[in-house]
Amino acid sequence: MYQWAFLIFLYLIGLLYINVLFPNLSNNHRQLLSPFFGVGFSGVVVGFLLIARIPLSLPYFFICLLLILIFAKILLKILYLHNLSWGQLFAHTSSNVLSISFVLYLVISCFFVLSGFADASPDSTQFEATGRYLAQGGLVNSSTPQMAFMLNGRLLIVGAMHAMTRLFGGYSLYALNPTMCVWLLLFLAYTIFILNRKVDNVTRILLLLFFVITLGFYKHFFNGMFAIHSNQLSMIFFTVSIVSLYFFTVTEEKSWVYIGSLTIGFACLTRVDMLLCSLIFFFLLTLIRKTDYNMMKYAWYIFFVSLLPWRAFTLYYTPLNTWYVNATQLYLLIGANIILCLLSTQLHRYNRTPVNLIRKSPFIVGPIIIFLLIFFIPEKVELSWNLFIKYILLGHSTWLLLIISLIISTISFYYIDFREKNYYILFIPTGLYLFMLFLLVAFAGYENVDHSASRMVFHTVPLFIYSLFIGFSTAVTNKPKTSREMLAS
């Protein structure tokens, strides 16, 4: 039951933070996003304590959590963004607690805690060990065995969650991933329901149920959510960030962009390779015509503030030559984000964003990169072709079906893209992500050794299925205009 208390705490703390940061969002959206925020901010606090070389304990954790909350509130007041008094904030949060959403969360989390079901892999033992190390007062120390691996491979967010469970009196963490995955499913289902407002209620509900069944019982999602690993939280944060961008284009509410940049920051704190996904996120943000310079600037600020302190800290302890992620790879990933930041902000600063050209750029730049790689390092391309394309994507039946589905849906992509201009945001990330994984395997893969890219394809699954359903509903509901409507137009 201690673990259940921890999961409830995550919801409540997320709710408190989201009420401070985004009070203008609808109540349902805040409730549905709060567990994800709870996980993200708890991880950030653990990271802050580690950087400050303070051993992890509940009193220090709560003090730090409160300090960050106060800091965020003061900052927002200075920026004249929101000015909610403390009284209003706590009243708001306590009224939110008495909601269907919270009760549903209690039921889901309790179910997974009581079921006690989890799927442990070799990596799970290391996440568990990292959590124990931190909970037992361990600090980042160069004399500790495999510290660079622990920092870049097992921290921050997942290791922190395991540590917090121990501090809350729990024995080992296993219910977090299934709870969060089911909650993501509910969040996505709710957004599908909201986005199809023009459709009659019966169709909406049928569409929602069809989506829940399709994604919820999708073999890899259904089984994968029980795994004790970092892929689940990375998948959740990545999906929420891209869906937030899509929501921004629909509602024109700026908060969604900032939610997206914060969650993609959390994704990068969960797994270091998610720094590739942040490139996709900001690339898509650059493409949105409604994005202005200030919005772009703040989105990057939020991303870097959440990410850079931890990454700079880990860089200090990461040698140039190590078997896991090395310092050069970290510099490359962070450097790519900084370059994209400079490019995208400057383009928006002078209002000269060639949106159409950038939109087409993946189709131009992608083949050029492949051509250059074949020319300069053909052995790496061959390795990635064999390991990623042949062995992972085409070799595993589950990914093969996903790829066939992706190829078939591409045929209808152009029609839907014509009807729904923002569909690009949901559909393209899967293709871009797979291309990036291809490059990742080329540069960080080894012959005869399995690569985690097999698990990483999982990150894009909910987003892809979500895009299929948005595409499906667009195709179905876009009835041709009547002759009178045609005449009128």
120 binds another protein (CB under 8 A): yes
Q: Please say whether the beta carbons of 61 and 44 come within 8 A.
A: no
Instruction: Confirm or reject binding of residue 479 to another protein (CB under 8 A).
Output: yes
For residue 488, state whether it binds another protein (rule: CB under 8 A).
no
Amino acid at 301: Y
111 is a contact residue toward another protein (CB under 8 A): no
Residues 6 or more apart whose Cβ sits within 8 Å of residue 165:
2, 3, 6, 131, 172, 173, 176
Cβ proximity to another protein: between 99 and 409 the closer is 409
Q: Taking the complex as a whole, how short is the minimal distance between the CB of residue 138 and another protein, in angstroms?
A: 5
Count the residues in the chain. Answer: 489
Among 77, 360, 421, 481, binds another protein (CB under 8 A): 481
Residue closer to another protein (CB basis): 70 or 213: 213
Min separation Cβ 263 and another protein, Å:
24
Q: Which of 222, 301, 331, 443 binds another protein (CB under 8 A)?
A: 222
Question: How crowded is the C-beta side of 312, counted as CA atoms within 13 Å?
Answer: 8
142 binds another protein (CB under 8 A): no
Least Å distance, CB 462 to another protein, is 11
404-433: which residues touch another protein (CB under 8 A)? 404-406, 408-409, 411-412, 415-416
Residue 72 interacts with another protein (CB under 8 A): yes or no = no
| 322 binds another protein, rule: CB under 8 A | no
Single out the residue of 306, 258, 238 nearest to residue 41, CA to CA.
306
How far is it, in rounded angstroms, from Cα 454 to Cα 181?
A: 19
For the bound state, the minimum distance from the C-beta of residue 247 to another protein, rounded and expressed in Å, comes to: 21
Q: Residues 254, 258, 260, CA angle at the centre, nearest 5°? A: 110
Using an 8 Å Cβ cutoff, are 281 and 241 in contact?
yes
Exposed/middle/buried for residue 213 (C-beta within 10 Å: 0-12, 13-18, 19+)? exposed
Q: How far is CA 205 from the centre of its chain?
A: 26
How far apart CA 17 and CA 10 sit, in angstroms, is: 11
Binding of residue 375 to another protein (CB under 8 A): no
Q: Which of 27, 57, 95, 125 binds another protein (CB under 8 A)?
A: 125
Number of residues that bind another protein (CB under 8 A): 72
128 binding another protein? (CB under 8 A): yes
231-251 vs 255-270: helix crossing angle, rounded to 10: 170
Q: Which stretch binds another protein (CB under 8 A): 79-87, 219-227, 299-307, 335-343?
A: 219-227
